[in-house]
Structure 1
Amino acid sequence: MVKINDLEIGDGRRFVLIAGPCVIENRDITFRTAEEIKKITSRLGIPYIFKSSYKKANRTSLNSFTGLPVEEAFAILKEVKEDFELPVLTDVHTEREIQKAAEVADVLQIPAFLCRQTELLIAAGKTGKAVNVKKGQFLAPEDMKFVVEKIESTGNNKILLTERGTTFGYHNLVVDMRGLEIMKETGYPVIMDATHAVQIPSAGGISGGQPRFIKTLAKAAAAVGIDGLFLEVHPDPSKALSDAGSQLPLNELEELLALIMKIDEIVKSEH
């Protein structure tokens, strides 16, 4: 089990939601999304961590939106954390970013493409913050034990592992649900990212997606048994500045979560 403030992940009783817009586009969208998701999760009794990247370093095209000025983005994240009293998660891409991000974020996220970067993992671990590692699209689930060992070497045991699909040929991802069980063998909480898993990487210079399968993958993962559900959520995905093809519309979130709760309760009542 990993404890983040007063929130417990992997307690075997309920799943945690990690959700928010892909990237901080502006204050209005960030606040509107955080406020609405908090209302929904409060009604449903689901523990909630707000997620948004303060910048996006791994864009397909040189012309893609990478984020606001760093100080502005961090200020918005800090406001969300304080105004809504929520733990927040954001990505880090290099060792030099980590200390600044750790001043605001409760969870540091290692992007999938960087999950084998030893120095990055160790630097994140040394902060003492929870570290969420996205499993690389190129990595077998059993190899995540080596990622875990790198972070554990710093004395940090606040580790989360997230499934987000595996490369299957060009421009396609698949989710092998066996991987959720395999990663559980590390002893750390396992999260399902049902939005990045529907991406179509590099579809004509930007990442596309098949968002109609978000709910399918979320339900399937809940049936396997997960400790958390990761969703990128936007008020209007068609206008999103990043991952427009794979975010869940905000107005569809509550219905999906209510269904996931029912599946989650059935699965966990068996243990």
Structure 2
Amino acid sequence: MKIHIPKLKHTESGNFFLMAGPCAIEGEEMAMGIAEELVRISDRLQIPLIFKGSYRKANRSRKDSFTGIGDEKALKILAKVGQTFDIPTVTDIHETHEAAMAAEYVDVLQIPAFLCRQTDLLIAAAQTGKVVNIKKGQFLSGESMKFAVEKIQESGNNNVILTDRGNSFGYSDLVVDFRNITIMRGNQVPVVMDVTHSLQQPNQSSGVTGGRPALIETIAKAAIAVGADGLFIETHPEPLTARSDGANMLPLAELEGLMRQLIRIREAIR
């Protein structure tokens, strides 16, 4: 399923597209270094790439958790990544007033899973004219996401992506119901599997989210096999030193090998 995303390359390759980057923008040097490697991989393998980075983390368990380096500073770094490498960028927004602000710097606005039912936020994002990527709430079925799509489309914007990131399983774990990929594709919009967030172990007693990164390959392969249009993968050169969500990120050095495996699966099912 096609969608117009400015600067998105390699769309005729037949490959899935990739949203990838660090959880949060920690600084310019880090963001540019990751982007450079992602572009090298995506150009070599002909994978359409959208660079991902949060300019601010609003959903944190503890008050002392890292939330960002400053909104404007981080957004300017995202803009520089897009301009330097001529690639689209995506970041998440949390309140209605952030939609127009973030739209000045990035190509895709992302609605966090826990906010996917916030009507005013969805409408504000839609009205910017940017592509809107809505993450499915951990508490929702795939069927229920049709209403989120309708909110965007009825606001005059047909550029919608839906992303699955697993469903709550008890208090401190998530599971992936791969039926949701097929179900959400029934809305005639691209559907993405958020591989790394679906392996989170939230609500830990320490106040720091855990994860199961050893299963990234498993979730990614299954998602491509059932027809996901794209993958969302947070990656970092050294996840253990990342200031946000390091417990479930993929080491950057392992990304190309995984992509090669996934391309073979994509070719097999086409």
TM over 0.5: yes
CA-CA distance at 1:175 after TM superposition: 0.1
Q: Which runs of 5+ in 2 are unaligned?
A: none
**Equivalent residue for 1:48?**
49
| Aligned partner letter, 1:260 | L
Residues 220 and 231, structure 2, Cα contact 8 Å, conserved in 1: yes
- Measured in 2, the distance between the counterparts of 1:249 and 1:41 equals 16
- Cα deviation 1:14-40 (Å, max 9, x = unaligned): 210100000001111111100001001
For the pair 1:235 / 2:237, whether they are aligned, the reply is yes
CA-CA distance at 1:12 after TM superposition: 9.7
- Cα deviation 1:36-74 (Å, max 9, x = unaligned): 010011111111000000000001111100001111111
1:16-95 paired onto structure 2 within 5 Å: 16-95=17-96
- Measured in 1, the distance between the counterparts of 2:22 and 2:63 equals 21
- Measured in 2, the distance between the counterparts of 1:23 and 1:82 equals 19
| Partner SS state of residue 4, structure 1 | coil
For the pair 1:247 / 2:249, whether they are aligned, the reply is yes
1:114-133 paired onto structure 2 within 5 Å: 114-133=115-134
- Measured in 1, the distance between the counterparts of 2:130 and 2:9 equals 14
| Partner SS state of residue 18, structure 1 | strand
Bigger relative contact order, structure 1 or 2 (CA pairs below 8 A, ≥6 apart): 1
**Equivalent residue for 2:221?**
219
Residues 2 and 10, structure 1, Cα contact 8 Å, conserved in 2: no
**Equivalent residue for 2:259?**
257
**Equivalent residue for 1:108?**
109
| Structure 1 residues 9 and 43, CA gap change in structure 2 (3 angstroms) | closer
- Measured in 1, the distance between the counterparts of 2:9 and 2:48 equals 8
| Aligned partner letter, 2:45 | L
Q: CA RMSD in A?
A: 1.4
| Aligned partner letter, 2:37 | E
Aligned length: 268
- Cα deviation 1:184-215 (Å, max 9, x = unaligned): 11110000110000000022201110000111
CA-CA distance at 1:10 after TM superposition: 9.0
| Structure 1 residues 242 and 85, CA gap change in structure 2 (3 angstroms) | same
Stretch deviating more after TM superposition (9-18 or 212-221): 9-18
| Partner SS state of residue 4, structure 2 | strand
Percent of residue pairs identical: 52
- Measured in 1, the distance between the counterparts of 2:207 and 2:241 equals 17
Residues 198 and 209, structure 1, Cα contact 8 Å, conserved in 2: yes
| Structure 1 residues 226 and 139, CA gap change in structure 2 (3 angstroms) | same
Residues 11 and 48, structure 2, Cα contact 8 Å, conserved in 1: no
- Measured in 2, the distance between the counterparts of 1:132 and 1:69 equals 23
| Aligned partner letter, 1:265 | E
| Partner SS state of residue 161, structure 2 | strand
Length-normalised TM-score, structure 1: 0.96
